Structure 1
Amino acid sequence: MPSRSDVHYFGAGPAPLPTAVLERAAGALLNYKDMGIGICEISHRSPEANQVLADAKQSLTTLLDIPDDYEILFLQSGGSGEFSAVVYHMVALWVERRRLRAEEDLRTAIADGKTEGGLEANVLARLKKEVEEELKLDYLVTGSWSLKASQEAARLVGSKHVNVALDAREANGGKFGAIPPESDWRLTPRIREGGSGSALVYYCDNETVDGVEFPSFPQCLETLPEDAVDNDPPLVVADMSSNFISRKVDVKKYAVIFGGAQKNVGNTGITIVIVHKSLLPPAARLASPDLLRQLNLPVGPVTLDWPTIAKNNSLYNTLPIFDVWVAGQVMGDLVQTFGAKKIAGQEDVSIQKAKLLYDALERYPQVYRIVPAKTVRSRMNICFRVCGGDADKEKAFLAGAEKSGLLGLKGHRSVGGIRASNYNAVPLEGAQKLAEYLESFARAQ
């Protein structure tokens, strides 16, 4: 039976965790801080649990330089749950902003005798028209996960309200693996009468299935057109589940960042959301459930309601404190390891590991074909085919890798092939060993 030190695991998620964290976790499960009970047994409302939350938030804030005007939330339901939560929240925010504007306009119009009838009825009629004609959610679809997010949005609010501003398959032979130039994106035009043209612009920063990663923040989302009236930037929402805390991020460019923990941060069970406080009460109001129902728009479950979670310090319902503790330990260790470099230190390591693997693959083009275009290759998920996708050759590759202690390399069931997930907990030694195996397998062909 192999020991933990004998293998290197490249699974896409749940992913490996640092051995040192797991060793501490084993002790914490039995007797947390000499309390005589394990961390899974303590109350989520205890002082100890609150300290776990505070420590995890502080480590994340330090790593990513998160400004004070952002809130950090811990929720359950995974990244897929946030596909829905994003829609519930951002649509309710869009509706409330439109309601306030309509109320102001119509109150004046009624007072001037330009509009007949009561204020409430006129506001509702205008909102129904605006929802019908103007409500849009922009999605940049560059892989399987952003596609699923856009499909969930369409399920919740109707496909006519979802603008797929980019479907990367259209420029890549019907398959994911490239990101077309921004000039080809079909973002909803902004409205000159104030307010965004769309309720959000959504993208997945790293696509695990297809090995595609945005090389940087999209330039077209950086600033407004020169003739725009509204000074607010586009409400950018990013799913960073699979490259979270792996590189520097300018948090200020985003309205919302979220990620499931089970790739780089911790074990399965929690999702982390970083949301700008201007989108939460008391700075912002959201449309009431009654109004949303009158407009035939969905009302989300309370456990996915960001204002509720924020108001209760992520403890509205029973949060799995052990999962938060693990994430906090991982992030705290990164703070200690890289010091003043913060997350840039981990970014350097991830680039080094990815380069080792891509260089090995590129040396043998007759054996290996890297799936995504070079300009968008993921540092986290290296996807490739062996001998043109020959089933027997790929089976032999996987069998040989397993004998060498290199596990979890089978590609996603939807696309096949080989996938080496190069998350933070994969050590440099693991990437080196895999690169050596790539070399030896190719030479044997």
Structure 2
Amino acid sequence: MHKKHNFGAGPCILPSSVMEQAAQAVINWGGMGLSILEVSHRSPEFEDVVLKTQLLVRELLSVPDHYSVLFLQGGASTQFAMVPMNFLSKGKKAAYLDTGYFAQKAIKEAKLFGEVALVASSKDKDYAYIPVDFNNDKQAAYLHCTSNNTIEGTEIFDFSTAGAPLICDMSSDIFSRKINITDFDLIYAGAQKNMGPAGMTLVIAKNEFLDQAKKEIPSMLDYRVFRDNMSMYNTPPVFSIYVAMLNLLWLKDQGGVNGIEQKNIEKAKLLYTEIDRNPLFYGTADVGHRSRMNVTFLAINKEVETGFLKFAADQGIVGIKGYRTVGGFRASLYNALPLSSVEVLVSAMASFEKIYSDKTVLELG
């Protein structure tokens, strides 16, 4: 069966070579006569996988030695609560940047643990931009931001803000571009966008910041416990970590983060150029804040939206329907999506423009 052009925003597209290796490991991992799904997480073979994956994260993102690399569970949604549980102390306040749906979810959870200060919001324009003029109060316990907003199609490109310790949800653009790790005190990211299948959550944190955490925290929600136990305090998400290792090895072969960033820029530029050119579609995010990972756009009317969704599906294009509360279209350009798939989408948009134009002329005639 022909592989679809997968623009889905949820589970990321994975390279075929990674899929093949993972599939083989499910049957017989490394000739051990055991599946990766049944091997002991305490075996030296899997402990080696954890170490290799940590080293790949450090290499690809240039993580300094005074930062820890942790593999947790529960996705970013657990991090929404785990961050304030660890770092929002009594008498302090946490600062949050409101840039969309998932930032709002993080704010809601933080309010369960203490005072939350909303330093800036782009809600006034339906989250079509990233606020840039706000006060990062150094007295706050931390400033939390969401680097890429998958539903709204915006992305933060400048993190150089002095003040409170910076915590960032990077679930949907981690490993897609070069970042300066030392700009952040803690980064968290669900695996299911650019790393691998859901199940693992990556956390990169400055050790000095982790040591400032509250003292009384349940073990499974204490970053220090996972740091001190090499992310093996309990049974880890074995398969997710293993596939992440394979995917990061693939990324390294693509020229690393620097190499993939150039490809991601090219893919996004191609699609945004067609959106801006084609009279049937228009983008939703302000030009200077457009996401490279999640391209959001609308049709000029419902007829075009419905018609193009069907037309695209006939071309083998899947996953472009916009988020259920927004409508329109969302094309996710995660690392493993090839340029050729974007070319197919752009070609389909141009072809549909001609079909719709000819149809309209005939109807008017």
TM-score, normalised to structure 1, is 0.78
Q: What do residues 245-295 of structure 1 show as CA deviations (whole Å, max 9, x unaligned)? A: 000000011000110010111011110000001123xxx354332xxxxxx
State the Cα deviation string for residues 217-238 of structure 1 (Å, max 9, x = none). 2x4x1x3xxxxxxxxx521001
SS in 1 for 2:273: helix
1:149 and 2:62 aligned = no
For 1:125, the equivalent position in structure 2 comes to none
| Other-structure match for 2:11 | 14
2:190 to 244, 252, 260: 260
Paired with 1:180 and 1:276, the residues of 2 have a C-alpha distance of 26
Q: Structure 1 CA distance, aligned partners of 2:189 and 2:131?
A: 24
Query: Which of residues 184, 197, 215 is equivalent to 1:288?
Result: 215
**Cα distance in 1 between the residues matched to 2:302 and 2:22:** 40
Q: Which has the larger radius of gyration?
A: 1
- Determine the C-alpha separation between the residues in 2 that align with 1:262 and 1:381: 14
The counterpart of 1:371, out of the listed 271, 280, 284, is: 284
1:426 maps onto 2:337 in alignment: yes
Asked if the contact 2:76–2:171 (Cα under 8 Å) also holds between the matched residues in 1, the reply is yes
The question of whether the paired residues in 2 share the 8 Å contact of 1:255 and 1:276 is answered with yes
Mapping of residues 123-272 of structure 1, within 5 Å = 131-132=90-91, 135-157=92-114, 161-170=115-124, 172=125, 175-182=126-133, 185-188=134-137, 190=138, 197-217=139-159, 219=160, 221=161, 223=162, 234-272=164-202
8 A contact 1:40–1:320 mirrored in 2:
no
Q: Secondary structure at the match of 1:348?
A: helix
Which secondary structure does the structure 1 equivalent of 2:175 belong to? coil
Q: Distance in 2 between matches of 1:152 and 1:30?
A: 40
Partner of 2:296: 383
Residues 313-332 of structure 1: matches in 2 within 5 Å? 313-332=230-249
The answer (yes or no) to whether the contact 1:73–1:314 under 8 Å persists in 2 is: yes
Q: TM-score, normalised by structure 2?
A: 0.94
Alignment of 1:26-41 (within 5 A): 26-41=23-38
Distance in 1, matches of 2:169 and 2:194, equals: 13
Q: Which blocks of at least 5 consecutive residues in structure 2 are unaligned?
A: 357-365
For residues 96 and 212 of structure 2, the distance between their equivalents in structure 1, rounded to whole angstroms, comes to 24
1:444 aligned counterpart, secondary structure: helix
CA deviation after TM superposition for structure 1 residue 21, in Å: 0.3
Report the Cα offset of residue 337 of structure 1: 2.6
Among 343, 357, 370, which residue is 2:257 paired with? 343
Deviations 1:136-190 (A, max 9, x none): 1000111111111111111333xxx1001011113x2xx11112331xx2443x4
Residues in 1 aligned to 2:47 and 2:29: alpha-carbon distance in whole angstroms: 14
Q: More deviation in 313-322 or 390-399? A: 390-399
Identity %: 36
Q: 2:86 aligns with which of 65, 84, 89?
A: 89
Between the aligned partners of 1:241 and 1:85, the Cα distance in structure 2 is: 15
Q: What's the RMSD between the two structures over aligned residues?
A: 1.3
For structure 1, which runs of at least 5 residues remain unmatched after alignment?
96-130, 191-196, 224-232, 290-298
